[in-house]
Amino acid sequence: MFLCGAVELLVKALVHAGLSLLLLSACIWFGRSIATTYWRKDMPSEIRPLEVSGLEDAEKKGVFLARILSARLRKLESDLRRANAAIAEARSAKLESAVSAPVDFAFLLQPVDLPKDVFKPLALEMSVAQVEVGKLFSWLHSWLGQKHALTLSAYYSEKGATVAGPLGREGDDPLWVHVESKDDLELVEQIAYAIAQRPFARRVKQAELLKTKQFGDLLEVFIAVAELGKQGRTGNVRPSEYEEHYLRLAPLTAEGDGRLSQWQPLVHATAQLAERAEKYEEALRDYDRALRLLPAAPPGVPDPDKEQRRAIQTQIARLRLKSAPEEVASVADPSAAIAELMAPLLESIGATGIPNAPEPPVVALAGAMPPDGLLPAGRLEFLPMNSDESGSSRNNYDFSLRQYTGDLIRSVLAVAPDAKFIVAEVPDNLGLGEKDLLSAMKRLAESDRPHVTLFAYKLGVRSPLQKALVALVEKGIPVVISAGNEPDAALPFDGDRFQNRFALAAAADKDGRPASFATRGPAALWVPGTDIPTLHAEKIIRQSGSGFSAALLAGIIGRIRAEHPRLTPAEVVKLLHDSAPPSTSPSVPLVNLQAALALAAQTPPSSSPRNN
């Protein structure tokens, strides 16, 4: 009897334990389901999120639309995250082989969190231990998930389809989307864009101004351009691919017509797209607008947009240089024609609109002879040869060499219109022998007056002229040397401790990239050196070479030292490197006179006296 009672007790205990475990499991499942609902990870598989009317198969259509919409929202969020990552990576990378910098969509670089759980659960019939919990579960599920779930209704008519309903966030306007067709995919696309627009509009108020389709265009352009930026690092992007997206974005920012014509970041991004599409006129227009839309800093307050302002100004100058006309309509006034052709180039190096220094720059030319009548009296001084040197230098120069010297002088004058010149004569013009050039540079160093010396000839690796050039910089006279026209050669003074004291002028092309012939290296100072307009026999022709880059750089340094005479050669070179606006490969940082003068004004003067 006792044994039977014990067995019965054990069986009851096991049954109760089993039921307790079952109830505990149900509770755990129930709690997990509630938590899952709250954190928006999963929803019931049986759903009916859209209440559809106007169709015979309304319930089936509602489930179909919900599943497609959920997938589209997940895909849109994934695309935006990848686009964010691609642009952030491109902005932080060195992009050594990039075709262009990434289009600046920084105003869209932000966390993206779209409401993907659009499902509203059906009423569930469920009981645990004979207790009906289905309705309770559905109620809790809906209550906890109501801020995330969408309760939308779709109405189909002959004129198209309309979807409306609350978005679940208190204070939000209800969703209302209409498409003039019964295309389910188009409807879902517009719903997804409308849902995505809300969180963007809360952070970027301008997004509220857009219609749903316009906002969708903005997002799709952002995603597509980010992908083109990744492809661009391998150089496989055609301008036509950017043009397609520019044409979608341009109407949004059109001046006077576009809804976002005053939104500076988007106008700037549109300008960048136009440039990459090689629509330079449109790019210049939009860059100019982007510059004007930057707010002015109050007096006495540092300008928070200083770097962006300078970058846009530099880009405008580069584009004007790139799109400059090859020729002018008339050369009745050759000087005016050359000035017209040089204007975009000068703007690209910040050499326009700057008042002359109190003291005119003095530029020395070693072993050069300008054409007769090029410079007025008082602006050209000759340093005669020593008594032990023979020959009449002014009569022994052939026409071509004098013409080249004239071209260099005109390039210097384009930057420094009031410059004066000192020429050290040499006996003859046949190759400008090293002995004669050594004598000329010695006399220049002894004259102790130039602000800068221009040496526009090829400098050999171990040439005796190097020692003479070092003597000039040790006297405190900056020396500009042509970097050379051999892309595989080394820069002058390569590996020499004196290299950082010389201004090594390397030629950049109209696109702001190294010219095909340019000698390159970290010490190079990049200056335009291709298609320089020159005057030959009353005709304007264009020439290229690092000698022209050197002449322009000599004018820049002359103007800087005329205003800041205590700067040493090494300080001048560092100043030009530090002030050159940054660029993204394959473009190079062009020297900029305005930026250099601004930085020089903040640079403490050297303790060394001016060499007069």
Q: Is the pLDDT of residue 7 over 70?
A: no
Asked, for residue 117, whether it belongs to a domain, the answer is: yes
Pick from 26-35, 162-171, 292-301, 310-319: least confident: 26-35
State the pLDDT at residue 534.
83
> What Å distances lie between residue 354 and 165, 415, 589, 591, 596, CA to CA?
61, 10, 21, 15, 12
Q: Is the pLDDT of residue 437 over 80?
A: no
Q: Is the pLDDT of residue 488 over 50?
A: yes
State the pLDDT at residue 42.
43
Q: Is the pLDDT of residue 404 over 70?
A: yes
Asked, for residue 451, whether it belongs to a domain, the answer is: yes
More confident residue, 514 or 151: 514
- Residue 577: which pLDDT band, with cuts at 50, 70 and 90? very high
Enumerate residues 6+ apart whose C-beta is below 8 A from 50.
Answer: 61, 62, 65, 66, 69, 152, 153, 154, 163
Enumerate residues 6+ apart whose C-beta is below 8 A from 501.
Answer: 470, 473, 479, 569, 570, 573
CA distance 527 to 507: 5
Instruction: Give the mean pLDDT of the chain.
Output: 75
Going by the DSSP 8-state scheme, the letter that residue 207 receives in this structure is G
- Most confident of the ranges 90-99, 143-152, 589-598: 589-598
Q: Is the pLDDT of residue 610 over 70?
A: no
Q: What is the pLDDT averaged over residues 174-189?
A: 84
**53-61 long-range contacts, Cβ below 8 Å, gap at least 24?**
53/153, 53/154, 53/155, 53/156, 54/155, 54/156, 54/157, 55/156, 61/154, 61/184
- Most confident of the ranges 197-201, 499-503, 579-583: 499-503
Tell me, yes or no, whether 198 and 342 share the same domain.
Answer: no
Residues pairing with 153 in the sheet: 51, 164
Total structural domains within the chain: 2
More confident residue, 565 or 435: 565
State the pLDDT at residue 296.
79
DSSP per-residue string spanning 270-304 = HHHHHHHTT-HHHHHHHHHHHHHHSPPPPTTS--T
Asked, for residue 462, whether it belongs to a domain, the answer is: yes
Q: What is the pLDDT averaged over residues 545-569?
A: 92
More confident residue, 6 or 376: 376
- Residue 140: which pLDDT band, with cuts at 50, 70 and 90? very low
Tell me, yes or no, whether 200 and 339 share the same domain.
Answer: no
Among residues 149, 182, 204, the one where a domain terminates is 204
- Residue 575: which pLDDT band, with cuts at 50, 70 and 90? very high
Among residues 151, 178, 204, the one where a domain terminates is 204
Q: Is the pLDDT of residue 453 over 90?
A: no
Percent of the chain with pLDDT over 70: 71
- Most confident of the ranges 37-51, 90-104, 122-136, 227-241: 227-241
State the pLDDT at residue 560.
93
Asked, for residue 45, whether it belongs to a domain, the answer is: no
| Structure tokens belonging to residue 584 | 């993204």
| Structure tokens belonging to residue 174 | 């209800």
Q: What is the pLDDT averaged over residues 142-162?
A: 68
Pick from 230-244, 274-288, 342-356: least confident: 230-244
- Three-class SS of residue 349? coil
| Structure tokens belonging to residue 536 | 């030959």
State the pLDDT at residue 528.
92
State the pLDDT at residue 30.
61
State the pLDDT at residue 561.
92
- Number of C-beta neighbours around residue 171 at 10 A: 5
Q: What is the pLDDT averaged over residues 67-92?
A: 77
CA distance 42 to 425: 88
Contact 68, 183 (CB under 8 A): no
DSSP per-residue string spanning 562-584 = HH-TT--HHHHHHHHHHHSPP--
Q: Whole-model pTM above 0.75?
A: no
Q: Is the pLDDT of residue 376 over 90?
A: no
Q: Is the pLDDT of residue 394 over 70?
A: no
> What are the pLDDT digits (tens) for 323-338?
665 555 445 666 777 7
Q: What is the pLDDT averaged over residues 351-376?
A: 82
State the pLDDT at residue 235.
60
CATH number at residue 494: 3.40.50.200
> What are the pLDDT digits (tens) for 504-554?
999 998 888 888 888 889 999 999 998 888 877 677 788 888 889 999 999
> What are the pLDDT digits (tens) for 247-306?
888 888 887 666 778 888 888 888 888 888 888 888 888 888 888 888 877 777 888 888
- Residue 569: which pLDDT band, with cuts at 50, 70 and 90? very high
Asked, for residue 116, whether it belongs to a domain, the answer is: yes
Asked, for residue 477, whether it belongs to a domain, the answer is: yes
Asked, for residue 323, whether it belongs to a domain, the answer is: no
Q: For 393-461, what is the HEC assignment?
A: HHHHCCHHHHHHHHHHHHHHHHHCCCCEEEEECCCCCCCCCHHHHHHHHHHHHHHCCCCEEEECCCCCC
Q: What is the pLDDT averaged over residues 396-407?
A: 71
Instruction: Find tokens 């007769």 and name the residue.
Output: 372
State the pLDDT at residue 324.
60
CA distance 537 to 528: 24
| Residues spanned by the domain of 428 | 333-602
- Residue 96: which pLDDT band, with cuts at 50, 70 and 90? very low
Q: What is the pLDDT averaged over residues 415-424?
A: 87
State the pLDDT at residue 572.
94
- Residue 136: which pLDDT band, with cuts at 50, 70 and 90? very low
| Length, in residues, of the chain | 612
State the pLDDT at residue 208.
80
Pick from 168-172, 422-426, 443-447: least confident: 168-172
Among residues 145, 178, 204, the one where a domain terminates is 204
CA distance 246 to 372: 53
Asked, for residue 269, whether it belongs to a domain, the answer is: no
| Structure tokens belonging to residue 162 | 């309309």
State the pLDDT at residue 554.
93
Pick from 44-53, 135-144, 478-487, 545-554: least confident: 135-144
State the pLDDT at residue 532.
87
Q: What kind and span of H or E run contains 318? A: helix 306-322
State the pLDDT at residue 581.
85
Check the CA dihedral 522-526-529-534 and report its sign. negative
Check the CA dihedral 42-44-47-49 and report its sign. negative
Q: Is the pLDDT of residue 18 over 90?
A: no
Amino acid at 216: G
> What Å distances lie between residue 298 and 262, 301, 303, 601, CA to CA?
20, 6, 8, 21
